[in-house]
Chains A and B, each alone.
Chain A
Amino acid sequence: MTDAAAGSVLGDDCKLYYSATLGGAGTLTEVPVIIDDTLNSERRAVESNCRGDAEVGELIGKPKHTITGTILLKRDSSGVGATFVALRDAYTAGTVLHFAMATGDITYIGQYVFRMEGRLKRWEQSQPDNDTVKVSFEITKAGDNTYASNFSTVTS
């Protein structure tokens, strides 16, 4: 395998993959023509009075992950339409999917990857005249799924 090219790791080369097979055992399929895919992660926190002190502290809990992004769709035969239909049907059915976000083509050594399993929680499909269909979506971790979200690096 080829090393990923040095340079920026963020930008329009970043990719999102999905698989209907859970647990990381399935073959990942690239979601074509996707922009602004974002990992949103924040740890739960609660404030508390610090014992014996005149200030308030913050207790930090476990992180909560979601993935957001936008699919640009035009009816064609290059796989964009098929992926659109597959993800739309998963949204409709509430199906849990395996997702992988990569800082570039995942088949290149050195790419950084985030994986989680979840459901499409939001599906906003805008269809402006004379333009591309834009689908803004949000994926949240499925509470009834035991796959531990993780960060990784492609080594070979």
Chain B
Amino acid sequence: MRVDEVKVETLAGETVTVKLQVVGVAKTSQPAAEPEPEPAPVAEPEE
């Protein structure tokens, strides 16, 4: 279970750290992976 720590500044100016137990997220979004470079073309053998 994922738990996030979050800082909160109250209206009184006090900073409090709270823990949030996250539900309902299948995965964390990630930037798309860089595509693998295409293999260099293989030169055909000359006859």
CB within 8 Å of B: which A59-106 residues:
78-79, 100, 106
**6 cross-chain pairs, A with B, having the tightest CB-CB distances, nearest first:** A152-B20, A27-B7, A146-B29, A148-B29, A152-B22, A150-B25
Tell me, in angstroms, the Cα distance from A146 to B32 when the chains sit together: 10
- For A28, give the chain B residue with the smallest CB separation: B8
Say if the beta carbon of A26 comes within 8 Å of chain B: yes
Interface residues on A, range: 20 to 34
Interface size on B, residues (CB 8 A): 23
Give chain B nearest CB distance to A6 CB in angstroms: 19
CB within 8 Å: A-B pair count: 67
Tell me the complex Cα distance, A1–B6, Å.
14
For A147, the chain B residues whose CB sits under 8 A away are: 29
Cβ-defined contact, B21 with A152, below 8 A? yes
Contacts of A24 in B (CB 8 A): 4, 6
Report the minimum CB–CB distance from B4 to chain A (whole Å).
6
- Nearest chain B CB to A22's CB is how many angstroms away? 12
Which residue of chain A is the closest to B13 with respect to CB atoms? A79
B23 at the A interface (CB under 8 A): yes
Contact A26 B7 (CB under 8 A): yes
- Distance between Cα atoms of A148 and B30 in the complex (Å): 9
Whole-angstrom distance between the Cβ of B15 and the nearest chain A Cβ: 6
Q: Would you list 25 pairs from A and B whose C-beta atoms are within 8 A, ordered by A residue?
A: A1-B16, A1-B18, A26-B7, A27-B15, A28-B6, A30-B10, A32-B11, A79-B11, A107-B10, A113-B20, A115-B20, A146-B29, A147-B29, A148-B25, A148-B28, A148-B29, A149-B25, A150-B23, A150-B24, A152-B20, A152-B23, A153-B23, A154-B19, A155-B21, A156-B19
